[in-house]
A and B are shown apart, each in its own frame.
Chain A
Amino acid sequence: MTMSLTEDLPWPDRAEPLRIYRCGGAGFTESSVAELGLRFGLPAGNYGVMQSAAATVTYSHGSREVTIHRRSGGFRFRDLTRWQADHGGTVDLGDDEAVQIAQAFIRRHDLAPANELAVAKVTRLRVGLADREGTTAEERVIDVGVVMRRVIDGLPADGPGGHIMVYIGADGEVTGADQIWRPIVGVHSEVESLRPREWLEERISRHLGADPAARLDIHEIRLGYFEDGWDSAQEFLQPAYVVLGILRSPDERLRRRSVIAVSAATNDVGEIMPPNPQIRTQPERARP
């Protein structure tokens, strides 16, 4: 595979010191989800329902439910009658207004300190409708989702975790929230230095493997504290390079995006993502 990485692509260097942090253990239980439910106003009464699965614990009461992912401690809160539901209205909120609602929600429920949050993205859930003749068409926004990134040492977290997403419905009320935010319990070590660009290029090539027909056009390289997703136990938060690119095929009309994350510190505490999986095979299918 060839790799297109232009010299003028901004390199995410950093002068300020970084650290490798130890995360708190997971092991979230039924009592954890009940406590979380109380924070979101779900009473721990006789009408609540607790569901335990290998990866999650869910407590629901009426239309509202909270789910904790055992390995990460990440949680989802939903008001199921309103979350991502179309009741015919339109959410007419600008980005700034939506961010203010999200920040107020985070503050009210004590989800994260304000000085550890940065706005990452304001998303919108839209609905569309059309008839075959093309005589009727409509488009509305039914939900605004505000993504707030965790910030550590002035550096944003990166990865599928390390964020809070607040969902705002048609009445301007919060209808749900997601949070993946592992607690930091101490400093494992100071980062000695960050790996250079040449090292990263070599690592990307190794990760991509030998596919002479493919080409990866890299359009962004970021540096961030990498935090994993819902169902991963993570012992350390460490700086990582996150590489975003477009994977191009011989038929240029076919593209797919690619996201690669590798640990950035010379004294890292392990790989961020596993090597590419082995090529899978199946017994040959019988021809008709």
Chain B
Amino acid sequence: MAFVLRVRVGVEWVDTFHPDRCKQANLSYCDDQAEGFYNTMGGHGHIKVFDWGQDNAWETDFTAPDFGGDSLNWSDNVHFCMFDSHGGNWDDVLHIAFASQNRFCFSASDEWRLGAGSLKWIIFAGCDAVLGTSAGQVGGVWFGPMQGVHIVMGYLGTSADSWWTAGLGSDVAGDVCGGGAIATSWVDRAYSFWTGDNSIAIAAGGTQDEAVNRRENETLNWRDYAVTSTSWLAWKWRS
């Protein structure tokens, strides 16, 4: 078995929204996906740091301190983070939805500084990480928030909340802990011709070659190979 660096892991998820101003349609399987990821990573010896679900998932855990958030103590205080709830993309900004109005009902990607702390990889398992795959559509959303994070993963358009994809987090964690390339593992496991999920992974780099290399080859063992600047993005998706 290959030697794999230990990484710190955190997940947040929301299935149930209350009848208040944060109300959205209830979901059923975000906990399965996120905690499957968390527990499988932990089962392979990685460090389980936080698992905040339902009202315990807070917008401030993702929003940067410049905007009054506390990301450096939570999402950006782990190497690998997964968030699963509703997501929506408008004005080239991904908005992720929370049930608890700790401060706001949404955290918006134009208030993120992903990778300013420890964060290397993050999965947004709700909808609309991107709405299209042109350079403008991907770069318009992600050049700003990616500030040291290596790879962002999510969906092109909507994703399914489904019994049939409840094991996704566990499957992805199993692949990457087995030495699989992170972007490829996500794109492969999260794509579903049956449920209609179109997966995408977006890698950053200071140069074109670095971004492509990360997209194709980066594993958990690249934890300490820092992205010095997000001058390039390289992405792959199946549809």
Contacts and interface: CB of A to CB of B under 8 A. Distances in A.
Interface of A: 1, 84-86, 120-121, 123-132, 134, 136-137, 139, 142-143, 145, 147, 158-160, 163, 165, 209, 211-215, 229, 231, 244, 246-251, 253-259, 273-274, 276-277, 279-282, 284-285, 288
B208 A259 contact: no
B225 interface: no
B67 interface: no
A129 B70 contact: no
A228 to B, nearest CB: 8
Given A86-B236, A128-B234, A160 B164 contact: yes
B184 interface: yes
The 7 closest A-B pairs by CB, nearest first: A214-B25, A130-B135, A137-B135, A249-B24, A285-B56, A249-B25, A253-B88
B194 A256 contact: no
Chain B residues touching A, range: 35 or more
A128 B236 contact: yes
Nearest to B102: A287
Nearest to A273: B163
B27 A125 contact: no
B162 interface: yes
B195 A125 contact: no
Given A126-B238, A255-B88, 6 more contacts: A86-B212, A247-B25, A254-B86, A276-B28, A282-B54, A282-B56
A14 B212 CA distance: 50
Contacts of A229: 164
Contact of A160 (B192, B196, B211): B192
B10 interface: no
Given A131-B232, A253-B88, A285 B25 contact: no
Interface stretch (B75-83, B115-123, B136-144): B136-144
B24 A254 contact: yes
B88 A159 contact: no
B110 interface: no
Contact of A254 (B25, B56, B187, B212): B25
A145 B193 CA distance: 10
Contacts of A124: 238-239
Contacts of B127: 254-256
A251 B53 contact: no
B25 A215 contact: yes
A244 B133 CA distance: 25
Contacts of B235: 127-129
B222 to A, nearest CB: 17
A131 B86 contact: no
Interface in B151-165: 158-164
Nearest to B126: A256
B160 A259 contact: yes
B68 interface: no
B87 interface: yes
Nearest to A286: B56
Contacts of B163: 259, 273-274
A284 B56 contact: yes
B108 to A, nearest CB: 12
B182 interface: no
A222 to B, nearest CB: 11
B91 to A, nearest CB: 10
A250 B195 contact: no
B111 interface: no
A85 B183 CA distance: 11
A231 B208 contact: no
A213 B28 contact: no
Contacts of B52: 282, 285
23 contacts: A86-B215, A123-B193, A123-B238, A124-B239, A125-B238, A126-B236, A128-B135, A129-B135, A129-B212, A129-B232, A139-B134, A160-B192, A211-B26, A248-B25, A251-B88, A254-B86, A254-B87, A257-B158, A258-B160, A258-B162, A259-B194, A279-B15, A280-B31
A258 B192 contact: no
A259 B139 contact: no
Contact of A145 (B86, B88, B197, B238): B238
Contacts of A145: 238
